[in-house]
Amino acid sequence: MTKKVLKNVSRVLITLLVTIAIFVCFLYGVMAMLVFGPSKTAKTQFVLSVRETSAIGFLANLFVSNEEINRIEAENSIKDTTEVTNTSLVSTDTATSSDNIEVIDIKGSSFKGKLMIIDDPSRLFVGTVESFHEGEGEVVASMAERYGAVAGINGGEFVDGVTTYTAMPVGLVMVNGEVLNGNEDETYHVTGISNDNKLVIGNMTMARAKELGIRDCVSVSNLIGPFLIVNGEMQDVSGTGGGLNPRTAIGQTADGKILLLVCDGRQITGMGASFADLQDIMAEYGAVNASVMDGGTSTQMYYNGEVINNPYSPTGPRTCPTAFLIK
């Protein structure tokens, strides 16, 4: 009986290993076809999309040299800017203490998503984990519940690479005018909300952020979270404007409304959105300033007690150190 059981187990294991081997060969063949096939666009999107992930970014290096990867990334991006938000272009004088929040379904050729419009910009603030440390962060839903917030999206970048600490942010983080992370002598890629409830984006030092009256802010590098629209001007897009992945973005209209956007991806319903897609959506809904937050498995939108998008992760949304929340 024991021999028979072992024989059956062996057969199952062999079958499983063969199946995995076949799947890996098939996947390798698909990737090779994308890279070496006749479509230059397919190759570009493959390289950009996998390079924007922390887990499988190495796959691009199996087929393409570092030099070509660098060229593809440079030719398909949103260029950085030296401009900083001119807050006079946004008026919050007519903003009221309205509780109105509107959620709109967004759909593109390669993604589905949600756009949240908040009438009162004073409700926007940055929430954080209880302490920044070399460990596990917190999902937006948990963070929102702890702060008593009704809505929110994931925020800034965190330490990710060979070692990942989702409770340790990268760059400048400010809450209520207090600096929680960052160095005085460095320049950061900042997205924040000022004391007069205006979204401020730009490359700046800690001192400059304080001069501009920023009360709450996070940071995301240009490669991960470029500025989409600055002072009403759509930033220059090269090529495809990035790969196709889950994305998160924030913006503000001329009359002060806050726009929170998430686009799902890496699913059967679609690969995801490019930075150029986010830029088009923000422009369509009247953003005069808009920027991208961390994306991929981090992308999540919370509203009234639940996550309302479909994050790419079988175990649920990824933990983060910061979030933009709505009180």
Query: What strands, in cross-sheet order, belong to the sheet with 178-181?
Result: 178-181, 173-175, 214-219, 187-194, 199-205
Domain end call among 22, 54, 75: 75
What pLDDT, on the 0 to 100 scale, is given for residue 269?
Answer: 82
At 239, is the pLDDT very low, low, confident or very high (cuts 50, 70, 90)? confident
Cα(214)–Cα(316) distance, rounded to whole angstroms?
32
Is there a single domain that holds both residue 70 and residue 95? no
Question: What are the CA-CA distances from residue 307 to residues 10, 43, 114, 178 (Å)?
Answer: 43, 33, 11, 29
Reported in sequence order, the residue ranges of the chain that DSSP labels E, i.e. its strands, are 101-108, 111-118, 124-128, 151-154, 158-159, 165-169, 173-175, 178-181, 187-194, 199-205, 214-219, 227-230, 233-234, 247-253, 258-263, 287-292, 301-303, 306-307, 322-326
Is there a single domain that holds both residue 54 and residue 152? no
Domain end call among 25, 49, 75: 75
Q: Does the structure show a pLDDT above 90 at 260?
A: yes
Paired with 227 in beta bridges are 291
**Phi then psi for 40, rounded to 5 degrees?**
-70, -30
Higher pLDDT, 95 or 87: 87
What pLDDT, on the 0 to 100 scale, is given for residue 237?
Answer: 87
Quote the DSSP letter at residue 89. G
Is there a single domain that holds both residue 276 and residue 140? yes
Higher pLDDT, 14 or 187: 187
**Phi then psi for 150, rounded to 5 degrees?**
-95, -20
At 55, is the pLDDT very low, low, confident or very high (cuts 50, 70, 90)? low
Is there a single domain that holds both residue 62 and residue 103? no
Residue 8 lies in a domain: yes
Residue 81 lies in a domain: no
Is there a single domain that holds both residue 46 and residue 162? no
Burial class of residue 42 in the structure, from the number of CB atoms within 10 Å of its CB (0-12 exposed, 13-18 middle, 19+ buried):
middle
What pLDDT, on the 0 to 100 scale, is given for residue 18?
Answer: 45
What pLDDT, on the 0 to 100 scale, is given for residue 33?
Answer: 46
Residue 82 lies in a domain: no
Q: Which two tokens stand for residue 138?
A: 């917190």
Q: Does the structure show a pLDDT above 90 at 46?
A: no
pLDDT, one tens digit per residue, over 199-229 is 999 999 999 999 999 999 999 999 899 999 9
* CB contact at 8 A, 140 and 318: no
Residue 258 lies in a domain: yes
Residue 33 lies in a domain: yes
At 69, is the pLDDT very low, low, confident or very high (cuts 50, 70, 90)? low
Is there a single domain that holds both residue 264 and residue 150? yes
Domain end call among 51, 75, 99: 75
Is there a single domain that holds both residue 302 and residue 197? yes
Tell me the chain's radius of gyration from C-alpha atoms: 21
Q: Quick one: how many helices (H) and strands (E) in the chain?
A: 7, 19
Residue 80 lies in a domain: no
Is there a single domain that holds both residue 147 and residue 289? yes
Residue 167 lies in a domain: yes
Instruction: Give me the domain span that covers residue 35.
Output: 2-75
Is there a single domain that holds both residue 12 and residue 136? no
In the chain, % of residues over pLDDT 70:
77
Residue 146 lies in a domain: yes
What pLDDT, on the 0 to 100 scale, is given for residue 26?
Answer: 41
Average pLDDT over the chain reads 86
pTM of the shown model = 0.84
Domains in the chain, number: 2
Is there a single domain that holds both residue 45 and residue 99? no
What pLDDT, on the 0 to 100 scale, is given for residue 313?
Answer: 79
Higher pLDDT, 31 or 66: 66
Is there a single domain that holds both residue 53 and residue 167? no
Is there a single domain that holds both residue 142 and residue 271? yes
What average pLDDT score do residues 232-238 get?
A: 92
